[in-house]
Amino acid sequence: MPWVKEDLCKGCAICLKVCPVEGAIEMKDKKAYIHNDICTRCGKCMDVCPTNAIRPNSENPALRGFGRGSGHGGHRHNHGEW
Ligand code: SF4
Ligand code: SF4
């Protein structure tokens, strides 16, 4: 699932315009916010973002931190899904 690296997002809202799912991207405080419950992971927002602020799930520090401290992340299987 995609997530927005807020410090890179400049609030241009291009991602919002290309997103085919109405409401999947919302601007909050001039930063893009992705509603992962309705996002179809089509990847269009990632393609168009000029600052590469939209990152795949595998780069989400919050989720990466999840596996830390338990060896190699143990039972957390990431099939390349984002
Ligand atoms: S396209 Fe990128 S920089 Fe522009 S609003 Fe979306 S996430 Fe932010
Ligand atoms: S991956 Fe597709 S559906 Fe999800 S927020 Fe980006 S443009 Fe919208």
49 lines ligand 1 (CB under 6 A): yes
pLDDT tens for 43-66 read: 999 999 999 999 988 888 777 665
Q: What is the pTM of this model?
A: 0.77
Q: What is the CA radius of gyration of the chain?
A: 14
pLDDT at 70 over 50: no
Q: How far is the CA of 1 from the centre of ligand 2 (A)?
A: 9
54 lines ligand 1 (CB under 6 A): yes
For the structural domain made of 3-60, what CATH number should be given? 3.30.70.20
Dihedral sign computed on CA atoms, order 53, 16, 80, 63: positive
pLDDT tens for 37-48 read: 999 999 999 999
Q: What angle do CA 5, 13, 33 make, to 5 degrees?
A: 40
- One-letter amino acid identity for 66? F
Domain coordinates of the chain in residue numbers? 3-60
